[in-house]
Homo-oligomer: A and B are copies of this chain.
Amino acid sequence: MVSETSLQSCIDECTRCHAICTRTIRYCLEKSGRYADANHLRLLQDCAEICLASANFMLRSSNFHPNVCGVCAEICDRCARSCEKIGGGQDERMKECAGTCGQCSDSCQEMSVAHHLIA
């Protein structure tokens, strides 16, 4: 079962991840070059949007939040890896974004698994 604490912490992770991805889109567009890769930027948009949806489903205590969190976990993980790759382990901004996406992925994964235990 999902505790109130882990629900609130997952909402916080999703909110943070939505915010950093939205900022990182701007950052990557300004850096241009490999940073402005179409697939990387689409992944950042996907990640920002699904994190927002996940947070909203949890804020409404929706029964479907584990389903949305499951998709969110997968997208965040992919986005984390894209940020790592684009940043090449050198760029602090990209490392921070990758870290936030990775934590959000773990937290959402936990929400999604909790669901399967109940259902």
Contact = CB atoms under 8 A, between A and B. Distances in A.
A36 to B, nearest CB: 5
Chain A interface size, under 10 / 10 to 19 / 20 to 34 / 35 or more: 35 or more
Identify which of A37, A41, A64 gathers the most chain B CB atoms within 10 Å of its CB: A64
A52 B71 CA distance: 15
A7 B110 CA distance: 32
A71 B74 contact: no
Per DSSP, chain A at the interface is: helix
Contacts of A74: 64, 67
Contact of A60 (B42, B53, B64, B68): B42
Interface string A57-81: 1011110100110110011001000
